[in-house]
Structure 1
Amino acid sequence: MDRKKPHLGTVQETLLIPLYARAVENRKEFPLLRDARAEEIVAAIDYDFERFDGLPSLTGSLLRTVLFDRWVADFLATHPDGTVVEIGTGLNTRYERLDNGRARWFELDLPDVVDLRGSFFTDTPRRTTLAASVTDDAWAAEVARGNGGPFLFVAEAVLPYLDETDVRGVFALLSERFRGALLALDTAGDGFFDTQEEHDALSKVAARMRWYCPDPAALTAWRPGIGVLASHTLTSLPGPLVEELPVPYREMLSVLAAQRLPQAEGYRLNLLRLP
């Protein structure tokens, strides 16, 4: 089989880390999540994935995905005809995991990622790929035309790689175009942002995070009406979700929580309601 060589920008290359994490996890007897599609995609890409073997951050990215999946599933349970917008979708397979047969999905990423993604995914009447930067308001107009909402925007491992000025612009764009929408995002603060050079996964790629956010509650001051609905570290995930994890992962999280490692405590997963 001829494998596809990815030609990705510096930040875009990071999408291969969570992809590989899901592929490796799919091989386990008791995984955090099942993603056979990710395993198929990894096998079809010509890239040195072995550089990420055994890294603790693979588990971290999986736990992030599990929580974001839960938020999407909860949203669709309440709004089965709603719209999910994946910002910086990479090679994510959330649609394959969670689509309910009714929702509208948009998957946004830069042109080089969309080109690679086109080898593995196909648009449908309810699923649309958008090639654009999240900072470009043209994509927002297309999403707004596609459905009246309600909207859930999922920005997984995306916004921390932007400058704060651009992140503020994204917040302004979403708040003005999609009143009352939900936004799931991760933030990097103390202990995580300052140790990127030593980070097990980021040290193996050239990309570095640029937006520092030690306290997600401060985001409520960016625009009147923003509310923080949930904010978790990887060691303080919602109790009901933790109870559903395989036993080895529950035990691991218990040990990590007791250690209070700066890298684990300085990275947060957040669900916001926009004004």
Structure 2
Amino acid sequence: MNKDFKENTVQYTLCIPLWGRMLAEKKYTNLFPDHCAERILRELNVDLSKSKLYKLEYAYLNCAVRQYDFSCEIGRYLEDHPHAAVCELGAGLSTLREQLKNESNPWYNLDMPDVIALREKHIPAGINETNIACDLNDFSWFDAIDFKPQDGIAFIGGGLFYYFEKEQVKRLFCAMAKKFPGGIIAFDATNAMGLRGVNKEVKLAGNATKSYFSLENPKSEIESWSPNLTQVSEKDYMRGYLRDTSQFGFITQIAMRIFTWTHISFIVHAEFRSASERPAT
């Protein structure tokens, strides 16, 4: 294992989605074209081939499907806001910008300083792309975003908020909704039952990092936090954006049905009320 990674840390979990995306790309190249994952893992000298987690197709597809889902959210927002900024919260070693071949929109990657340092070593910033080292709970990072209300902004948070307490997420979302009117945020989440599964899944991958955040009813919960948080909706994680999942294996198909039925994994979409929609103060 590379010396930059220590077991049982959030940073170590960067390897988990990267390895999953590599496996998914090998089997379903046209669907999940993450051509950078294998190179990065090789440079990091990371090998998770003995992990029990990745013996299951559903487990490694989870990592790739998340990026696919976010690409759909970003694409739909950019249809109406072609000049919008895109901001990956907890970007880790995401290569989503490269997958989308997007060099026209301002793109921001935010993460802790040690993660950003690792990212800059293995994923050089492209045109219009900026890396920001910060603690998301310290809102001074707001000022590092060149936000133009007329252009808009789309935030995504992949595998991020599980590590936050619910009050931290609430405080962050309320502040973001106030600062970035007209923007959106999309992130993956689970319910309380699924949260237990997330912790077991990460443990199977060789990490004991603890997750905390879950939602039972995203719309009612999040919209109750602030009048500036609106149009909250959710889609199934595996089948909400993919048009066809029939090519996946039988066990994966069964798992998808079970997880949909039990409301274990989903993508949440929330909008920040635009300035013109806010009541006069």
User: Which bracket does the TM-score occupy, shorter chain normalised?
Assistant: 0.7 to 0.9
One-letter code aligned to 1:21: G
* Structure 2 partner of 1:222: 225
Checking the alignment, whether the CA contact within 8 Å between 2:157 and 2:187 is kept in structure 1 is yes
**Segment of structure 1 superposing worse, 66-75 or 51-60:** 51-60
Shift of 1:24: 1.5
Shift of 1:134: 1.2
* Structure 1 partner of 2:79: 77
3-state SS of paired residue (1:7): coil
- CA gap of 1:77–1:99, structure 2 versus 1, over 3 A, is farther
Shift of 1:123: 3.0
Equivalent residues in 2 for 1:25-44 (5 A)? 25-28=24-27, 30=29, 32-44=31-43
- Long gaps (5+) in structure 2: 274-281
Return structure 1 stretches of 4+ with deviation > 6 angstroms. none
Which of 249, 256, 270 aligns to 2:268? It is 270
Alignment deviations for residues 170-207 of structure 1 (CA, whole Å, 9 cap, x no partner): 1122112101210001222132113445x333443111
- CA gap of 1:32–1:191, structure 2 versus 1, over 3 A, is farther
Shift of 1:63: 1.8
Checking the alignment, whether the CA contact within 8 Å between 2:236 and 2:260 is kept in structure 1 is no
* Structure 1 partner of 2:171: 169
**Segment of structure 1 superposing worse, 51-60 or 133-142:** 51-60
Checking the alignment, whether the CA contact within 8 Å between 1:4 and 1:46 is kept in structure 2 is yes
- Long gaps (5+) in structure 1: none
3-state SS of paired residue (2:243): helix
- Identity, % of aligned positions: 21
One-letter code aligned to 1:273: E
RMSD, aligned CA: 2.5
**Segment of structure 1 superposing worse, 84-93 or 171-180:** 171-180
Cα distance in 2 for residues equivalent to 1:171 and 1:255: 34
3-state SS of paired residue (1:269): strand
Name the TM-score, length of structure 1 as normaliser. Answer: 0.86
One-letter code aligned to 2:24: E
* Structure 2 partner of 1:232: 235
Alignment deviations for residues 216-257 of structure 1 (CA, whole Å, 9 cap, x no partner): 11111011142245312335414xx323x5x32286665335
Paired residues, number? 266
3-state SS of paired residue (1:249): coil
1:54 aligns with 2:52: no
One-letter code aligned to 2:229: I
Shift of 1:4: 5.0
- CA gap of 1:38–1:147, structure 2 versus 1, over 3 A, is farther
Cα distance in 1 for residues equivalent to 2:269 and 2:128: 24
* Structure 2 partner of 1:256: 255
Shift of 1:74: 1.9
